[in-house]
A and B are shown apart, each in its own frame.
Chain A
Amino acid sequence: MRSYRIKLVVSRVVTHIILFLSSVAIIFPFFWMVSTSLKLNSEILRVPPTIFPHVLNWGFYNKLIHDSIFWRYFLNSIIVASTGTIISTFDSLIVGFIFAKFSFRGKNAVFILILATIMIPFQCYMIPLYVLSVRYNLVNTYPGLIFPIIISSFGIFFMRQNIQSIPDTLLEAAKIDGASIWNIFFRVVTPLSVSAIVTLGIFQFMTAWGNFIWPLIITNSREMFVLELGLSKFIGEFSVDYGFIMAGATLAIMPVIIVFLIFKRYVVEGITLSGLKA
């Protein structure tokens, strides 16, 4: 029994050592990013490097905060990601409701048609989408940035799965009380789907926020760049200015990390469990 105990303690210690070292290695790039962004240029290039900045230098942040184009990138990202998220999540909810609780001729065919496109990568059909956008003058516009993300096969599937678990009797009771279908949708289905809506919303928002290839194609004027795209141009413009680039990366990353730490449960579910249920 005693040897078993010792073995257990040893295995615990080893587990902690492995996890601790891995965590340090995984978190180190962020630490280094923040640390670099707060150093003076002379200190950034010092060999051997200093782990913490000797003198705190807010210069890079000052420069960024007073750079209106950087805020414009931020604003563009927020406009595009939130509009896309609101439309696609609402559409998924209401279409999911139809597929979960109604039956009509052709229902399966329509559902399969919607689901069939799930596997097809966006990169495989972005060219005709671009040609379409050129024809309708959507280049360098918000509608052009947003329209490819207003529908989501996965969202519809996810909402259908969730709404199916709402008991029919609840809907029937509302029906007997004289509620119209829209009423049932807004007063019964929506309140009962709040956690699914939040989960899907976070998933859609993060996907939209991280989109890179479509903004790269559809915008070419700096005023319309989203944050991801604007940030990627930092390298060219400030080729050796790693302090400045790291300050930009820090400002772009911090909101995401803060949201993640506050809504950790929803974020983890949104990114992973939603995939698992599919």
Chain B
Amino acid sequence: MMVEEGKVESYGKRKIFALKEETFFILSVLIPTLIAFFIIRVVPITKTFIFSFFQWSLIDGVGSFIGLDNYFTLFKDRIFYEAFFNTIFFTIFTTIFSVVLGLLFAQLINQKIKFKSVYETIIFIPVVLTFVPVSLIWMWLFDWDNGFINITLQSLKLPRVAWLATPRMSLVSVTIVSIWKVIGYNMVIYSVGLKNIPSIYYEAARIDGASGFTLFRKITLPLLKPITLFVLVMAVINNLKVFTQVYVMTHGPQGGGAQVEVLVSDIYARGFVYFKMGTAAAESMVLLVVVLLMTLLQFRLAREM
């Protein structure tokens, strides 16, 4: 890495000394950082890719090259498909509901109303919390016998719901918790976007006789497009990586027969419970491809819209 003239130094008097000093500074900072990047990121990512074509277990280490066998094993496994479709279901519903509700709350809060900051703070609180205590709280709310939700349903003469008793219902419950946790994040981001729309647009449109929903559809939504793209990309990426709440709420000793598999929990199980690192690496690559494809797809859609 050769150092040319630096912006800082270009007005310096002692050019040659300064250049040496600069080179030394840049190298002494960048080299440790780059080494860390290679060890923590570049090498592990490359290894995951390469070893997904090898026999690989924690106990025996890396074995022989087996081509696509790890992928075939995966694609023949019912659990992989279950994990894949659960992840997709979770991602679609969590993303749609949290983005729509986030936008709705942002709209409601972006008016000159009293207690605005109180509402905003309360709706944002779930965002700052971590998923383990949150999962525990909701497991208690979802409890079959004594959970607040079922007791309320009962007192309204409605049937109780087995929130965490079957894999399907558990997935729905986990989705509800995740939507609840992320609404505030989307609300705050949309609020920033709404504040940046000049009010003159709305005034002009009102003079032309537009109102209510038309204003929203013709002005607000189009102008929020970049923000929506950002919120969607972030939500989709984060939701595809879902793990903690699924693991805590459905894989614990209380999870019993209602274990929900998602891609990350399946990677975890293959790699760290059954020590089949090769198949786990292959599944990691599937997750990576899905994440990258979804991101590309959304950018493409945004450009065409």
Residues of A within 8 A of B (CB): 12, 15-16, 18-20, 22-23, 26-27, 29-30, 32-33, 36, 44-45, 47-49, 91, 94-95, 98, 101-106, 110, 113-114, 117, 119-132, 134, 147-148, 150-151, 168, 171-172, 175-176, 180-182, 184, 206, 209-210, 212-213, 216-217, 228-229, 231-232, 234-236, 239, 242, 245-246, 248-249, 252-253, 256-257, 260-261, 264, 267-268, 271-273, 275-276
Instruction: Return chain B residues, CB-CB under 8 Å to A132.
Output: 39, 44
- On whether the beta carbons of A27 and B122 are closer than 8 Å, the reply is yes
Partner of B42, one of A27, A117, A216, A231: A117
A231 CA / B130 CA spacing, docked (Å): 11
Q: Name A102's closest neighbour in chain B (CB-CB).
A: B6
- On whether the beta carbons of A231 and B133 are closer than 8 Å, the reply is yes
A229 CA / B252 CA spacing, docked (Å): 12
User: Given A121-B241, A249-B137, A267-B128, does the pair A103, B30 have CB atoms closer than 8 Å?
Assistant: no
Instruction: Return chain B residues, CB-CB under 8 Å to A12.
Output: 111, 113
- On whether the beta carbons of B121 and A228 are closer than 8 Å, the reply is no
- On whether the beta carbons of A246 and B151 are closer than 8 Å, the reply is no
Q: Name B5's closest neighbour in chain A (CB-CB).
A: A103
Instruction: Return chain A residues, CB-CB under 8 Å to B18.
Output: 175
Instruction: Return chain B residues, CB-CB under 8 Å to A217.
Output: 268, 272
A176 CA / B14 CA spacing, docked (Å): 10
Q: How far is the CB of A235 from chain B (nearest CB, A)?
A: 5
- Say whether B48 faces chain A, with CB atoms less than 8 Å apart: yes
Partner of B40, one of A32, A104, A134, A148: A148
- On whether the beta carbons of A206 and B128 are closer than 8 Å, the reply is yes
Instruction: Return chain B residues, CB-CB under 8 Å to A22.
Output: 105, 119, 123
A122 CA / B244 CA spacing, docked (Å): 14
Partner of B151, one of A18, A47, A231: A47
A26 CA / B151 CA spacing, docked (Å): 18
- On whether the beta carbons of A125 and B123 are closer than 8 Å, the reply is no
- Say whether B126 faces chain A, with CB atoms less than 8 Å apart: yes
For window 126-154 of chain B, which residues contact chain A by CB distance below 8 Å? 126-141, 143, 146, 148, 151
Q: Name B136's closest neighbour in chain A (CB-CB).
A: A249
- Say whether B253 faces chain A, with CB atoms less than 8 Å apart: yes
Instruction: Return chain A residues, CB-CB under 8 Å to B288.
Output: 120-121, 124
From A91, A172, A213, residue with most partner B Cβ within 10 Å: A213
A217 CA / B138 CA spacing, docked (Å): 24
8 interchain residue pairs of minimum CB distance:
A125-B44, A128-B44, A210-B130, A249-B133, A128-B47, A236-B253, A212-B244, A105-B2
Residues of B within 8 A of A (CB): 1-9, 11-13, 18, 21-22, 25-26, 29-30, 33-34, 36-37, 39-45, 47-48, 51, 58, 105, 108-109, 111, 113-115, 118-119, 121-141, 143, 146, 148, 151, 155, 180, 183-185, 188-189, 192, 227, 230, 234, 237, 240-241, 243-244, 247-248, 252-254, 264, 267-268, 271-272, 277, 280-281, 284-285, 287-288, 291-292, 295
Q: Name B45's closest neighbour in chain A (CB-CB).
A: A125
- Selected A-B contacts with CB under 8 Å, 13 pairs: A16-B115, A22-B119, A29-B141, A33-B137, A101-B6, A102-B6, A104-B6, A114-B37, A119-B292, A126-B44, A176-B12, A228-B131, A252-B132
A209 CA / B4 CA spacing, docked (Å): 41
Partner of A181, one of B25, B33, B253, B268: B25
- Is the contact region of chain B dominated by helix, strand, or loop, or is it mixed? helix
Q: How far is the CB of B178 from chain A (nearest CB, A)?
A: 13
Instruction: Return chain B residues, CB-CB under 8 Å to A213.
Output: 243-244, 264, 268
- On whether the beta carbons of A47 and B7 are closer than 8 Å, the reply is no
Instruction: Return chain B residues, CB-CB under 8 Å to A206.
Output: 128
A27 CA / B126 CA spacing, docked (Å): 8
Instruction: Return chain B residues, CB-CB under 8 Å to A113.
Output: 37, 42
- On whether the beta carbons of A127 and B48 are closer than 8 Å, the reply is yes
Instruction: Return chain A residues, CB-CB under 8 Å to B3.
Output: 102, 104-105
A68 CA / B134 CA spacing, docked (Å): 23
- On whether the beta carbons of B37 and A117 are closer than 8 Å, the reply is yes
- On whether the beta carbons of A44 and B254 are closer than 8 Å, the reply is no
- On whether the beta carbons of A47 and B131 are closer than 8 Å, the reply is no
- On whether the beta carbons of A232 and B132 are closer than 8 Å, the reply is yes
User: Given A117-B45, A212-B243, does the pair A228, B108 have CB atoms closer than 8 Å?
Assistant: no
Q: Name B3's closest neighbour in chain A (CB-CB).
A: A104
User: Given A121-B241, A124-B284, A235-B254, does the pair A212, B132 have CB atoms closer than 8 Å?
Assistant: yes
